């Protein structure tokens, strides 16, 4: 009998524990459903993942931090942005773009040439000597050309929030300055994985081949390449001046840096938060980012000179020679890019 009483008391005890735990779980679930969004963020908050591949000292990252602060302040903390710099999530821009299109990443800022892998119309920005100045490039990207390219991005599932500034590509060489077509003859040039770039340097008589950026320094050390086209900030951050001591300001391609969000993610946000992203994007990427990039370029170029980099400037006549030599690229890529888009871009060049 005592044994039966003990069993009965144990059963009652277990039942009570189950009820208490059940109530606790129910309360927790109710609190979660009322207080959190489906992604597990706090009540009234939306958290966006945001990535780039450059170091945290780069203008791209500093602008990204400013964008994050603007968005969070304007939304009173309802919209948060988690920044993953320096390739932490995706080591290459191509991988990051693909992840954003697929929805595995919410936002990214990249160099515009990387988008050409997903739509050839973006190669319009890779055409040599397209813009004579950054001001022309800004006018084009803030105007009708930018609208057309924004539409292209929408087609592949991306919503652009602004056009940042990666600066001009210039020629860095171990052989000497590249003033003329003769200086390019036979030069072994590393280019990004983009056939238009290979063909452009081919028109100048160089031997151009793609090579992984992460392995470029060692390839240059070993003499696999004589030269590479690099903007000032990458020369500084990767210490390319140690193996490419001659830097000619050819300014043959202007590299923009669009910042975009997955279109589905954008459309799922409340309209007021969408507007905040647009306003913050315009303020940062179309304005302060560009100013910051200019400041950094000037500072880094002086630092590189002090560290032994030989810097050369082209005369208008020398630049015109290189421009004329690469002009056939426009017709060669007219079908892929589209004549109307090329003509529209050229209209911004005075």
The 10s digit of each residue's pLDDT in 195-223 is 999 999 999 999 999 887 778 999 999 99
Q: Which domain holds residue 92?
A: 46-346
Q: Which is nearest to 227 in space by CA: 206, 213, 200, 203?
A: 206
Cβ-based neighbours of 264, under 8 Å, separated by 6 or more: 103, 157
Ranges of the chain with pLDDT below 50: 1-44
**Residue 297 within a domain:** yes
User: Which CATH number is 145's domain given?
Assistant: 3.40.190.170
**Residue 245 within a domain:** yes
Q: Which contacts of 286-289 are long-range, i.e. CB under 8 A and separated by 24 or more positions?
A: 286/142, 286/162, 286/163, 288/63, 288/66, 289/59, 289/60, 289/63, 289/66, 289/162, 289/164, 289/165, 289/257
pLDDT at position 91 is 86
**Residue 27 within a domain:** no
**Residue 92 within a domain:** yes
**Residue 29 within a domain:** no
Q: How far apart are CA 119 and CA 341, in angstroms?
A: 13
**Residue 314 within a domain:** yes
pLDDT at position 325 is 98
**pTM (2 decimals)?**
0.83
pLDDT tens-digit readout, 264-311: 999 999 999 999 999 999 999 999 999 999 999 999 999 999 999 999
**Residue 307 within a domain:** yes
pLDDT at position 350 is 76
pLDDT at position 88 is 94
Please tell me the total count of domains within the chain. Answer: 1
pLDDT at position 37 is 34
Q: How far apart are CA 95 and CA 51, in angstroms?
A: 11
**Residue 270 within a domain:** yes
């Amino acid at each position: 009998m005592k044994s039966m009483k003990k069993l009965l008391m144990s059963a009652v005890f277990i039942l009570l524990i189950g009820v208490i735990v059940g109530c606790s779980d129910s309360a927790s679930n109710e609190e979660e459903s009322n207080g959190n969004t489906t992604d597990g963020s706090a009540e009234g908050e939306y958290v966006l993942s945001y990535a780039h591949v450059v170091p945290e000292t780069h203008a791209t990252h500093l602008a990204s931090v400013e964008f994050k602060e603007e968005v969070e302040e304007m939304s009173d903390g309802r919209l948060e942005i988690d920044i993953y710099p320096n390739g932490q999530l995706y080591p290459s821009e191509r991988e990051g773009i693909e992840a954003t299109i697929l929805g595995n990443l919410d936002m990214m800022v990249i160099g515009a040439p990387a988008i050409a892998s997903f739509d050839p119309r973006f190669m319009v920005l890779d055409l040599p000597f397209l813009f004579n100045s950054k001001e022309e490039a800004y006018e084009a990207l803030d105007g009708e050309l930018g609208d057309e390219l924004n539409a292209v991005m929408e087609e592949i599932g991306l919503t652009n929030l602004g056009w940042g500034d990666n600066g001009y590509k210039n020629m860095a060489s171990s052989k000497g300055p590249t003033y003329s077509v003769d200086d390019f003859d036979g030069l072994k040039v590393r280019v990004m994985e983009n056939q238009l770039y290979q063909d452009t340097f081919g028109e100048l008589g160089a031997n151009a081949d793609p090579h992984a950026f992460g392995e470029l320094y060692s390839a240059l050390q070993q003499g696999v390449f004589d030269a590479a086209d690099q903007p000032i900030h990458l020369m500084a951050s990767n210490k390319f001046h140690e193996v490419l001591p001659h830097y000619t300001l050819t300014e043959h391609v202007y590299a923009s840096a669009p910042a975009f969000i997955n279109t589905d993610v954008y459309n799922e946000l409340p309209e007021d938060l969408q507007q905040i992203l647009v306003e913050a994007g315009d303020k940062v990427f179309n304005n302060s980012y560009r100013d910051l990039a200019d400041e950094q370029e000037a500072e880094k170029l002086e630092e590189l000179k002090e560290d032994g980099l030989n810097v050369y400037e082209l005369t208008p006549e020398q630049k015109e020679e290189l421009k004329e030599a690469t002009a056939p690229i426009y017709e060669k890529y007219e079908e892929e890019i589209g004549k109307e888009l090329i003509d529209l871009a050229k209209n911004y060049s005075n």
